[in-house]
Chain A
Amino acid sequence: MAEQTVSMPKPPSKAWRMFRSIGLLRESPVGIVGVAIIVFWAVLALFADVLAPYPPNATISPMMFPGDTDASGNMFLLGTDHLGRDILSRIIHGSRRVLILAPLATLCAYIVGIPMGLAAGYLRGRWDDVLSFIANVILSFPVLVLYVIIIATIGASAVNILIAITFASAPGIMRIVRGLVLDLRNREYVAAAQTRGESGLYIMFIEILPNARGPIIVDACLRLGYVIITIGVLGFLGLGLPPPDPDWGGMINETRQLAMTFPHMAVFPCIAISSLVLGFNLVADGLREISLRD
C-alpha cells in the first residue's frame, strides 16, 4: 500500500480492489476461518425465511430442551424459550438485525471519523488541537458508561443506537486516521498535488485517503467486532431494540433469569454473537499479518 508513490491515471475499480484484498486472505489460514464464519452468518441472514424451521415470533411449546419433540411432533434443535419460541429460528432471524445494524453503525462512525482525522492530520495547527482535544474528552469516558448514559437519555431505537455508536467510535477512528495522515502527508505525491495547485479537499480525499486504506480496513474489521459486541451488550442490559423481534443480546436478557435451570436459552445466542465477533477479529488478524509481510 505504502509503496504506491505515484497516483495512477486509472486505478482499478473499488469492487476489484475489495475482491483482491479478500483474495489475499488465502495466505492466512486464520483469516480464511474468519471469512468462513462471516459468510456462514451472512447466508443464514439472507435466507432466514427459508432456513428457519419456524416463524421467529411464533409461540409453539415453551421450555423445550435442545433436541426435544413436543406432543404435536415439532422438533426443536436448540430448544424453545420461556414463551415457547424456537431458539434456532430466532437466532437465524436475529442475525439479520446484527448484520444490518453493525456495519451501518460502523460506516456512520467512519463517515464522521475519517474527515475529522484527515483534517487534523493534514491541516494541522488549530484544527488538530481542537479535534484532538474533542477526541480525548470523548475517549476519556469508559465506553459503556457513555453508551448507557446516551441511550438511557435519548431512548433506545435503531437510529439512537447508530448515533450513540457513531459518537463513541468516531474519535477513535479520527486518531487512527490522523496518525496515518501524519505519515503520508510528506510523501512525494502529496507534494506533487500541492504543486499542481490541487485543493486541500482533493489532496485529503483523493491522494491521501486511498493510500491509508490498508490499516483502515484492518481497523474496520476489529471495530465491526466491537460494534457487534456493543449492540449485544445494549440488548443484554435492556437498552437495545424493543421486543418481540429477535435480537441476540435481547434474547440473552430475556432468559438470563432462567439461566440456572434452562441454560440453553441464553447459551446459544451467546455462542452466535461470540462466533460472529470472532469471525471479524480473525479476518482483521489475517489482514494485518499479510500487510506486515509485504
Chain B
Amino acid sequence: MLLFVTRRVGTMALTMIVVSILLFILLELTPGNVATKVLGPYSSEEQRRLWLEAHGYFDPIHIRYFRWLGDFIIGNFGESTRFKVPVGDVLWPRLWNTAILGFAVMVVVVPLSLTLGVLAGMKEGSKLDRSISVGSIVFTSIPEFASAVLLSAIFVFYLGLLPGTSGMASGFDLAQLVLPVMVLVLYDFGYVARMTRASMAEVMLTNYIRTAVLKGLPYRSVILKHALRNALIAPFTVIMLQINWLLSGVIVVEFFFAYKGFGALLLEASLNQDIFLIEACAMVAVFVAVGTQFAADVGYTYLNPRIRFS
C-alpha cells in the first residue's frame, strides 16, 4: 500500500511539474509579452526594459523557470494586474466561495444520482431503467449555460421565486445559491447515475446475487445487503472524478450568475490577460483535479479488496 501511494504521489508531482512547464512556455516564453501584459499596452519601450531587468527576465530561460517555480511553491504568485493586489489575496477567498458551491452540489448530486442509478440498475431493461437512462441522457445534453438561461427564465422571469444573480453583495444568501447549484446538479447527475446503473447492473448478474436470490432471501435484503456494497465501489471513483468536471462547470455558472468564485476569477483573468493570476488559477485547478484523482485511486484500492497493489 505504501509503495502504491508513494508511486501515485510521484506521478502526481511529475504531472504538476509538466503542467507548470507547459504553462510557463505558453505564457512566459517571450518576456516582451509579459512586460506588455503587466505594464499595459501603453507602456514605453524603456519602461518595459527596466521592468524586465528588475524582475530578472534577461536571465536564461531555465533559471527563470526554476525561480518562477520556487516562488510558486512558497505561495508567492506575483501581483495581479487586474486587481492590483497580490494574487493570493484574491485567489483564496474566491476558491473558498467555489468550495461552498461545489460542496452544495455534491450534497445533492451524490444521493440523487446513486438512488436513481441503483433503481435503474436493479432491473436492467425495465421501464424504470429505460426512463431513467433516457432522462439522464436528456439532462446531460443540456449544456450548463442553456440550463442556466432556461431555469432563470422559469424561476426568475415567470415565477419570480428566486434572485437572478448570485453576487452575494449583502452577505451570504442561501436563496442566491439555489439556481447555480441546480444548474450544476442537472448537468452532472446524469453521468454519475448512468455509471452507477452500469455498475449495479453488472453486480446483479453475478453468481453470488443469483445464489442469494435462489436461497430465498427477500429481494430487499439481497439488494441492500449484497448488491449495494459492491455496486457502489465504481461510482465512488466516478464521483471523485466529477470534481474535475465541476471545475469546468463553475466557470460557466459563476459567470452567468455573477457568483464571486474561482471560475469567474479564472475567466476574468484570462479575458484581461492578467498573466500571474492565470498561472495561479491554472495551477490550482490542475492541483485540485490531480489531487482528487489521487484520492479516487487510493480510495478505490482501499474499498476494493480485489485490487492488489502492484
Contacts and interface: CB of A to CB of B under 8 A. Distances in A.
B18 A267 contact: no
A149 B141 CA distance: 25
Interface stretch (A12-20, A66-74, A256-264): A256-264
A259 B149 contact: yes
A45 interface: no
B146 A142 contact: no
Name the interface size band of chain A: 35 or more
B164 A260 contact: yes
Given A30-B134, A137-B19, A140-B286, A152 B247 contact: no
A149 B22 CA distance: 12
**Taking each of A145, A149, A151, which has the highest tally of chain B beta carbons within 10 Å of its own beta carbon?**
A145
B145 A233 contact: yes
B115 interface: no
Contacts of A260: 152, 156-157, 164
- Interface of chain B, main secondary structure: helix
A236 interface: yes
B251 A148 contact: yes
Given A232-B146, A260-B152, 5 more contacts: A30-B137, A142-B244, A144-B248, A233-B145, A281-B137
B194 to A, nearest CB: 10
Contacts of A202: none
Given A259-B149, A267-B150, A281 B271 contact: no
Contacts of A30: 134, 137
Nearest to B187: A229
Interface residues of B, number: 50
Contact of B149 (A142, A148, A263, A278): A263
A133 B251 CA distance: 27
B105 interface: no
Given A144-B248, A263-B157, A278 B138 contact: yes
Contacts of A237: 251-252, 255, 267
A278 to B, nearest CB: 4
Interface of A: 30, 133, 136-137, 140-145, 148-153, 225, 229, 232-233, 236-239, 249, 252, 256, 259-261, 263, 266-267, 270-271, 273-274, 277-278, 281-282, 285
Nearest to A268: B149
Nearest to A278: B141
A133 to B, nearest CB: 8
Contact of B153 (A136, A152, A267): A267
A140 B15 contact: yes
A29 to B, nearest CB: 10
A45 B280 CA distance: 42
Given A30-B134, A270-B145, A277-B143, A145 B26 contact: no
B285 A141 contact: yes
B282 A256 contact: no
Interface in B128-166: 133-134, 137-138, 140-147, 149-150, 152-153, 156-157, 164
Given A136-B15, A145-B248, A237-B267, A281 B140 contact: yes
A202 B251 CA distance: 44
A266 B273 contact: no
Contacts of A263: 149, 152-153, 157
A121 to B, nearest CB: 20
Contact of B289 (A140, A271, A277): A140
Contacts of A256: 149, 256
A238 B271 contact: yes
A163 B199 CA distance: 36
A140 B290 CA distance: 6
Contacts of B244: 142
A89 to B, nearest CB: 20
A13 B10 CA distance: 49
Contacts of A145: 247-248, 251, 266, 281-282, 285-286
Contacts of A133: 14, 18
Contact of A278 (B137, B270, B293): B137
A139 B52 CA distance: 33
A148 B285 CA distance: 12
B10 to A, nearest CB: 12
B245 interface: yes
Contact of B293 (A140, A232, A238, A266): A140
A152 B270 contact: yes
26 contacts: A136-B11, A137-B15, A140-B15, A140-B19, A141-B19, A141-B289, A142-B244, A142-B285, A142-B286, A144-B251, A145-B247, A145-B266, A148-B266, A152-B278, A233-B143, A236-B252, A252-B145, A256-B149, A256-B256, A259-B164, A263-B149, A270-B145, A270-B146, A278-B137, A278-B138, A285-B133
Interface string B102-137: 000000000000000000000000000000011001
